[in-house]
Structures are given as C-alpha cells and as structure tokens.
Amino acid sequence: MSRSEEITQNEVRFPTQQLFILALCRFAEPIAFTSILAYIYVFTLDLRPDDEANAPFFAGLLVSAFALAEAATCVMWGSISDRYGRKPIVLIGLGGTALSSLIFGFAQNYWVGLAARVIGGGLNGNVAVIQTMVSEMVKSPDHEPRAYSVMPFVWSAGSILGAAMGGYLAQPSKSFPSIFPVDGLFGKYPYLLPNLVASAYIAFAIVIGMIFLRETNTSPTQKSRPQEDISQASADERTPLRPRSSAALMSISSDQDHSTTGRRPSLIGTNLSLTTSTTADLRRVSTISMGAVRPLIPSIFEGHQAESEDGNDIPATPWNREVVLLIVQLIVMSYHQMAFASLLPVFIVDEPTTGHLDLRGGLGQTVRDVGTYFSVTGVVAMLIQVLVYAPLVERVGVWRSFILFTILVPLTYIVTPFLTALDSSGIQVGVYADMMANSFALIIIYPCLLILIKNATPSLSMLGQVNGLAMAACSGARTFAPPLAGYIYSKGGSAVGWWSIAAAAILGGLLLFPMSPPVGAGESVSD
C-alpha cells in the first residue's frame, strides 16, 4: 500500500478517539444544566421567602436565562470559532459553565443566581461549535449517522446524572447531617455541593480537552484553503466549514455550477448534516439531533427536487404551506416540552393546600424525589430511543406516528393535577407513568417532525435556511416556556398551569386539520 493510499484510508476512518474526547467535554453541560432542575423551586423559595406565590415564575426565569443568553451569543461564538478555531471556544465555554456553576452555588441572593445563569449561557457557544466539530471530524458520509448520534446520547446520559446529582447533593446538611453539619460550609451554602461537583468535572474536561482535543478548523485565520475546488462549490447555508472528502461534497451539492466565492462559509446552519439519499436505517439515527435526521420517505416534492438539482427550477421561496405548518408544530412541541420539564419539579415539591384532590397545590415531596424521578425516567427514555423508536416508526410510518402521538400527548398534561388525589404510593406510580408516557410521545414526535420538515422543503439548497429558522424559533419557545408556565401556575394554581400546557399541546393537534398527508409519508418506512 502506498503512502497516499494509507493517508486516504486513515482520513475515512471513524474518529472514535476524538469523538470520545469531545463527548467528555460535551458531557459537562447537561450535568450543569439539568442538576438545578431538581432543586430550582426550593432554591427560589429560600432566596425569595417573602414571595412564595410567585416562586414558580421566578424559578422558570432561572431555567430560561441560560438558554436565552446562549441563544443571544451563539452566533458570535460561532463566528469567532470560524476565525480563531473551535478548540479555544470549546474550552472557553467549559470555563464559563464552571464559573457560572460556582457563582450559582455560592449565591445567597436570587439576582446573583440569575446573573450566574446569564453568565453561563453567554460564555457558552458549545452547542453549535461542538456539533460543527463533529461534522469536521467525519470524513465519510457513511459515518455521519453514527457520529451525529453521539452528542445527543451524551446529553441524555448527562441529563440523567445531572438530575440525580442535583436531587441528592442539594441541601446536604438536611440529607446527610452527620457528614455535612448545619453550621459548616454546605450548611451556609446548601446548593454549593452539586455545583462544586459539576465544576470539578468541568475542570477535568478542560484539562483533557487542552491536552488531547485536536483543532478541526484547519484554516481558522482564513488565509488559505486546503482544496481549491471547494471555492467552486456553493457557499450557502449547507456549505461545510472546512473542505470534506469528495464523496461528502457530492452528497451536498451534485452537478451545481455556482460562481466562485472567496469568503469562508459561516458557522450558521453548518451543523446540519445533509444528504440526497432518500432512505436510511432509523436505528443508526439520533432521535434528538437535527443533524442526524435523514429522510425515511421519498421527497414530498420529488419533481421540484429533481429540477432544483439540475439547476433548472429552484423555487423562489422554501416557505410552502407544509413547511410553515410543520415548523409551527415544532414550535408548539418545543413549548410544551420545556414547560413540562420546568414545571414538574415545582409541582412535585410544592406543598398541597388541601387533603385530597388539590387543584391548586402540588405533591409535597422532596428534592431527592425529584432527582430520582428524572433519573429513572431518563434511563427509560434512553431505552425507548434505542429499542422502541425505530421498530415502531418503521412499522407504523413517519406520518401516522406523528399524527398519533401529537393527538395523545395532551393527555399527559391533562391528568397531571389529578395525581394529588392519590395516596403516597399511588403518587409515585402516577408520576413515573405520567413522565414516561410524556417522554415516549415526545421521543416519537420530535424526529418525525424533523424528517417531515426535511422532506417538505422544496430544494436541498434551501434546507439550511429552513432548519436555521426552525431551530431559532424552537429556542425562543423553550426560552419563554418556563417563566410563562410558572407565571400561570403561580397565579391560577397547579391545575390551571398544567391545563395551559395541555391547551398548547391541543393546539398542535388542531393544526393537524389543515395539513394534508405528504405523499409516501403514510406508508411504513420499510416499504
């Protein structure tokens, strides 16, 4: 074997080692982000004891502040990573998360805690940058589904550990008084321990990243381009941040003839893996990552697609009726998903106001119970992703699966306030059943929506634009869901709060009526 053949073979090898190192870095964020969910309500009550009625709203602000600050700065960090490289930005993001966690742990004032969350989100551009590093590590299109599924899996695993850590380590002087005395450090700062543990892991991830993580942006200063032929490709939303193998380029743009451009493509939109293939194995695809979704059914607009690839008839706009309605569905789903995740810990810990069916108060359980619920449900959700999702959608079909679970998911919100009518053992079973049913429905709905949006887009050249707007809109929905749901809960009681979320989910069901089944989406994937 010649040296050139050996180099080519190495280039298409799956980047296991680097993906593992990147996963260690990524693992830090879900731990830090989800650990506060378990104790966010009691944290707010402790720091705002005179405003208990509005505690759900202010707890929601703490949840959404990180996401809002991250959304406001992610484009900036992406642009900086284009110029100076991905690795420094990843390390800065980890450092910002550690700093935010420590400030939050030491906070004895609500507004200091809120500022800590804003700092953490503002200094963290790793969501887009890490996903872009994955795309730059992968040299072969055949490796993309497997590679793109790594980071969503890491997020799920980190979320499980984070929820458990927050539930068991918060207020340690109450849970473990013999180890952590009330008059000690962790008695004075009851929420420091989970944040200290998270920061310690982040410090470990920073050291590993500094030593072993390789820079994937090989020309961060924009002074040179490794391959001259990349300048002939379209520099649109789908253009990779660095030159890829010829096979990868062909999977994005085949037989396109565009004018030469000298500028380096932006980070925006490049974390979306694109392909012209119309079939894929669902078992190899992430159920969370937008970038991992490949079409499972023939394109809804096959005629337009073929013409667009030939360059004869590119549609003037991607915003056809199907695309708009599907994006609205995605926004609605993002809202009620995040509202559920942020309001449930409040409901579990909130004290009941009556002895039986209580439509204003909560379940009166502990922070440790919250951590246990989220951890167990997270494990079950991962098993559903791996074992249930693909066979179910292959058998039922993408469109039918989407319709079925969009209709059923509001029930998981409608029944939640009635859990207060159960006894102590029944409450535990009811919470698990409610959370698992909700997770099951959303695990099916989300990837099906992404697949349908991808197939409804008239031309692949417009997919980056469509996906970019869809993700931005979803970020907005997830940002405003926690404080809005918390405000409704605080003003109207638990039942009104949950039924407002159910109303949003029902709206998603009503939006099904003006939608027509896409061609081919009703059949099973295997057909």
Tell me the H-state helices in 126-280: 126-137, 144-148, 150-169, 172-175, 185-188, 192-212, 246-252
Instruction: Give pLDDT tens digits for 348-362.
Output: 999 888 767 778 889
276 lies in some domain? no
pLDDT over threshold 60, residue 310 = no
pLDDT-derived band at 520 (thresholds 50, 70, 90) equals very low
pLDDT of residue 299: 39
Which residue, among 243, 321, 362, has the nearest Cα to 516 in the 3D structure? 321
Looking at per-residue pLDDT, the higher value among 138 and 268 belongs to 138
The count of structural domains within the chain is 2
For the chain, percent of residues with pLDDT exceeding 90:
30
247 lies in some domain? no
231 lies in some domain? no
pLDDT of residue 16: 86
- In angstroms, the Cα distances linking 444 to 366, 386, 450, 476 are 31, 12, 11, 22
258 lies in some domain? no
pLDDT over threshold 70, residue 206 = yes
How long, in residues, is the chain? 527
- Looking at the whole model, is its pTM more than 0.85? no
pLDDT of residue 498: 96
pLDDT-derived band at 434 (thresholds 50, 70, 90) equals very high
User: 36 and 158 in one domain?
Assistant: yes
Looking at per-residue pLDDT, the higher value among 310 and 527 belongs to 310
User: 212 and 83 in one domain?
Assistant: yes
What backbone torsions phi and psi does residue 137 show, to the nearest 5 degrees?
-75, -30
pLDDT of residue 306: 42
pLDDT over threshold 70, residue 230 = no
pLDDT, mean over the chain? 77
Task: Tell me the CATH number at 400.
Answer: 1.20.1250.20
Tell me the H-state helices in 311-366: 321-349
Mean pLDDT over 51-80 rounds to: 84
505 lies in some domain? yes
Instruction: Give pLDDT tens digits for 368-383.
Output: 899 889 888 888 888 8
Are 289 and 271 a contacting pair, CB within 8 Å? no
DSSP string, 416-464: GGGGGGS-HHHHHHHHHHHHHHHHHHHHHHHHHHHHHHHHHSS-GGGHH
Report d(CA 416, CA 211) in Å as an integer. 48
Instruction: Give pLDDT tens digits for 446-467.
Output: 888 877 887 777 776 666 567 6
pLDDT of residue 424: 82
Side chain identity at residue 88, one-letter code? P
pLDDT-derived band at 387 (thresholds 50, 70, 90) equals confident
Instruction: Give pLDDT tens digits for 313-332.
Output: 666 777 888 888 888 998 99
SS3 at position 176: coil
Instruction: Give pLDDT tens digits for 120-129.
Output: 988 887 877 8
Instruction: Give pLDDT tens digits for 93-144.
Output: 999 999 999 999 999 999 999 999 999 988 887 877 887 788 788 787 777 6
User: 333 and 186 in one domain?
Assistant: no
pLDDT over threshold 50, residue 273 = no
DSSP string, 277-309: -S---GGGS-SS-GGG----S--TTHHHHHHHH
Mean pLDDT over 423-429 rounds to: 89
Looking at per-residue pLDDT, the higher value among 429 and 278 belongs to 429
User: 391 and 527 in one domain?
Assistant: yes
232 lies in some domain? no
User: 458 and 329 in one domain?
Assistant: yes
pLDDT over threshold 50, residue 385 = yes
pLDDT over threshold 60, residue 272 = no
User: 455 and 314 in one domain?
Assistant: yes
pLDDT of residue 142: 73
The dihedral formed by the CA atoms of 175, 181, 185 and 191, expressed in degrees to the nearest 10 = 10
228 lies in some domain? no
229 lies in some domain? no
Looking at per-residue pLDDT, the higher value among 279 and 25 belongs to 25
Q: Which of 11-20, 159-168, 227-236, 392-401 has the lowest mean pLDDT?
A: 227-236
- In angstroms, the Cα distances linking 360 to 1, 491, 504 are 73, 10, 20
Q: Domain containing 401: what range?
A: 306-527
